[in-house]
Amino acid sequence: MPFTRRHFLGYGGATLAGLPVLTFLGCSRPPDASRADAGERAWEEHLRTLETRVRQTMTDLHVPGVSIAIIRDARIAWTKGFGVRDQSTGLWVDEDTIFSAQSMSKPVFAYRVMKLVEQRIIDLDAPLTRYTTDIFVKNDPRLNEITARRVLSHTTGLPNWRSKDDPLRINFAPGSKWSYSGEGYHYLQSVVTRLTGHTDKTHCRTFEMDYRVCATDFSDYMEANLLKPFGMTRSGYELTDAMRQNMAGRHDKTGALMAQKTGTAVDVARYGSAGSLMTTARDYARFLIEVMQPKPADDYRLNAATRAEMLKPHIAVEPSPVKMSWALGWQIWHMDQGDILAHGGDDDGWHCESMCSLERKTGFVILTNGEGGTGMIWNELLKPLVADFLFA
């Protein structure tokens, strides 16, 4: 089975499964000042090694552009852009360059849903049918068993995306097992919009299997209630003229520029919660910091109890070379050195990954704009990023 974000599989994960506990943990400790100096020297050397590896792999795998942010002590300690936004312009990637985050959109949406739960606008364990008259799956009473919790933990039984080969249906009893589902996120997004937003029924389009979707104000809602409050000022869901000035282009496996997908309000109504977020590495790192070391609870930030509910394991995911479970909106890797909170994203020409250690207050974000980004992240960069920065 090939690697997908729905399963943590062999060619990248197998190397992580055997990651040793860092050798300095068992050594005698030098005086504090010497240890600090040694730590800074090691940090700088790891950065130099990482830069060299990134540049070489970009050449080998024809990845035109990469952006990375690294979190240390719950702050953005390092960011760097590599290569070009797109091959047609030759403009350099910098810290303001925007990439498609694809499925890294899901934790952002999950965070806002948990705030709605906290505000008692939606019940985490109530059937979503309580909040809408739309019948998402016809002729199946198990639709009444799909809840926000089951959507966020991917236990709805719905397919990832409907297609001729995988039609929209409930494939198992909701809550009984795990199966990644973008359709579940879309269903929950439609409920959130019904509760908090507006739908423009004069602006509609058909998607997979003649599924008709109308534009909504989901983009404005997420911008007002999460992106701006969290300082994610260069992120958004609809592709505006301002965003186009800094937007990277996606490229195929040879490094050739591909057509940019549209980012309209109708597209966002269909895919927004599951994969429409466009962001920078620095902006997404700001989101991770809010998760790992939040400011006091307010209208936008979760209180401690809700945050704990979101981040605890809800269902085991098997099989995998690394023990894993799923929280609400997040994947958790249970490793010898500690748990990793993770989510990535993939589409043709876009590949990205984000990870953090809540215990160590460390993390990283890596965004790429080439089809070779999958191999780059999972074969070449993930192991050193985890060993040298996440668990350092």
Please provide residue 241's backbone torsions phi and psi, each rounded to the nearest 5 degrees: -60, -40
Residue type at 103?
Answer: S
| Close Cβ partners of 67 (under 8 Å, ≥ 6 residues apart) | 79, 80, 81, 82, 93, 95, 97, 99, 280, 281, 365, 366, 367
Residue 37 pLDDT class (50, 70, 90 cuts): confident
- Assigned domain for 25 exists: yes
* pLDDT reported for residue 111: 98
Tokens of 150: 């089951």
Q: Residue 86's pLDDT is what?
A: 94
At 356, which CATH number? Answer: 3.40.710.10
Preceding peptide of 319 cis, ω within 30°: yes
To the nearest whole number, what is the mean pLDDT of the chain?
92
Domain count for the chain, please give it.
1
Mean pLDDT, to the nearest integer, of 154-168? Answer: 97
Contacts of 15 (CB under 8 A, 6+ apart): 382, 383
Query: Looking at the domain assignment, is residue 66 inside a domain?
Result: yes
Judged against a pLDDT cut of 70, whether residue 379 lies above it is answered with yes
CA–CA separation, 39 and 35 (whole Å): 6
pLDDT at 17: 44
Asked if the structure places residue 87 within a domain, the reply is yes
In which element (H, E) is residue 367 found?
strand 362-368
Which tokens is 89 given? 């312009």
Query: What integer pLDDT is reported at residue 57 of this predicted model?
Result: 98
Euclidean distance between CA atoms 114 and 329, whole angstroms? 10
pLDDT tens for each residue of 38-54: 889 999 999 999 999 99
Predicted confidence at residue 320, as pLDDT, reads: 72
The boundaries of the domain holding residue 188 are 10-390
**Domain for residue 349, yes or no?**
yes
For the segment 17-34, what is each residue's pLDDT rounded down to a tens digit?
444 433 322 333 445 667
- pLDDT higher than threshold 80 for residue 5: no
Q: Tokens representing 234?
A: 């260069």
pLDDT at 29: 43
Residues 115-147: b if buried by 16+ CB within 10 A, e if exposed:
bbbbeeebebeebbbebeeeebbeeeebbebbb
Q: Which of 25-39, 45-59, 282-296, 341-355 has the lowest average pLDDT?
A: 25-39
- Do 254 and 281 touch, CB atoms closer than 8 A? no
Q: Is residue 220 part of a domain?
A: yes
For the segment 217-274, what is each residue's pLDDT rounded down to a tens digit? 999 999 999 999 999 999 999 999 999 999 999 999 999 999 998 899 999 999 999 9
Q: Is residue 1 part of a domain?
A: no
Residue 216: strand, helix, or coil: strand
Any domain includes 336: yes
Q: CA–CA distance from 25 to each of 92, 221, 286, 363, 392 (Å)?
A: 40, 46, 29, 19, 10
5 in any annotated domain:
no
What pTM was estimated for this model as a whole?
Answer: 0.92
